Amino acid sequence: MENKRSEFKKLLEETVIPEVMSYEEREPLLKPLLEYVHSIIPQKLFRYRDCSEAQFDAFYNDRIYAGNAQKFNDPYDCLIRYDKQYLYDSIKHGASKEHIRKLRDSLREGEPFPEFVASLYGEERTKILKETILNATDEDIEKNNLIFGMSKDEFFNQIENVFREAESYLRRSTFIACFSETVKSVTMWSHYANSHKGFVLEYDLRNRQIKCDNCENKLTCKDRIVHNLYPIIYDYKRYDGTYFVDCFLGRHMGLFSKLSDVMFINKAALYKSSQWAYEKEWRLFLDKQNSYGLPYLCTEIRPVAIYYGKDISAINKKILSDIAKEKGLKEYQMYIDVQSEKYTMKFKKI
């Protein structure tokens, strides 16, 4: 599977979809990536759960809740890395006295307003900005308040606030349900299934039939939830989100900034430290319009089997087993083979 993850990483990095593209234009660019992912989805993916009323209810109703990374146990999960010095240098260059003076002089000589600036500001703002710079005196430029509308200190304090907001944006806006390729991890049973007192649900997520994808109104429906399933990329280097922070900053400044790659959210959320490689994780992303600030998103996918923790209580096992039998699921009991030389869990069918 490691070779497959490496190939997936290569395809993911090669897939770049500008925000300005229509859905029809995006589809052929996404196709190679999605086809490859579908070809490598394991037959079995596992979801570790603790025993609680909420988890029993989710199991009974075939619900999978996707939460955001603020609740995850890895403080680096979905945390954006970016080159702050590069962004500061770009801002300072664009707002420097020398740059504004050259721009004013070129406008007075009949040169057109820079096209890339016009694309950021939009037609109305560009017109105002052009007139302001065109009529600026040397004294106006020396004060350097033409674009800021405030002192430099106030401006850069605001920039710092935007940087801090951008740093955690992904952790608050991405909704993820986590799965693993293995049910035999002692560590995962300990961390995610209440020290072996919980349970694991097995899913077959190949060729999933999602109702929203077959709906004629899928591109206009405000209630549509988009599903995407990808494997985690384990790496020693964090994903570079500088261009996203640049766009994020531009939008906060009232510019019409567009993402150069709408795959940013998925890419940034799929890189994790190699220290977590033992989890063999896959992530189901759920996305919906105007979902920012919601505690979770939910989808319905029926499991195919259940595994009971080695130390699950008799009453919790009875509750879960009754639900499993009603659904016709396979049931397995986890155990430790005391004669085995390996540190791994085993299971037997009930």
Summarised one tens digit per residue, pLDDT across range 63-111 is 999 998 888 889 899 888 889 888 877 776 656 677 677 778 888 888 8
pLDDT digits (tens, 9 = 90+) for 168-213: 888 888 899 999 999 999 999 999 999 999 999 999 999 776 655 5
Confidence at residue 348, expressed as pLDDT on a 0 to 100 scale: 97
Q: What is the torsion angle, in degrees rounded to the nearest 10, for the CA atoms of residue 120, residue 122, residue 124 and residue 130?
A: 40
Q: The pTM is what?
A: 0.81
Bridge partners (DSSP) listed for residue 201: 47, 306
> What is the C-alpha to C-alpha distance for residues 282 and 179, in angstroms, rounded to an integer?
5
The proportion of the chain whose per-residue pLDDT surpasses 90, expressed as a percent, equals: 49
The burial class, CB within 10 Å (0-12 / 13-18 / 19+), for 206 is middle
* Beta-carbon-side half-sphere exposure of residue 308 (alpha carbons within 13 Å): 22
SS3 category, 275: helix
Phi, psi angles (nearest 5°) of residue 244: -70, -45
> What is the C-alpha to C-alpha distance for residues 70 and 172, in angstroms, rounded to an integer?
6
Phi, psi angles (nearest 5°) of residue 180: -130, 155
> What is the C-alpha to C-alpha distance for residues 226 and 213, in angstroms, rounded to an integer?
8
Confidence at residue 135, expressed as pLDDT on a 0 to 100 scale: 80
> What is the C-alpha to C-alpha distance for residues 179 and 48, in angstroms, rounded to an integer?
8
**pLDDT score of 123 more than 80:** no
The burial class, CB within 10 Å (0-12 / 13-18 / 19+), for 217 is exposed
- Are 312 and 334 within 8 A, CB to CB? no
SS3 category, 347: strand
pLDDT digits (tens, 9 = 90+) for 11-69: 999 999 998 898 889 999 999 999 999 999 999 999 999 999 999 999 999 999 999 88
> What is the C-alpha to C-alpha distance for residues 37 and 66, in angstroms, rounded to an integer?
20
Confidence at residue 194, expressed as pLDDT on a 0 to 100 scale: 97
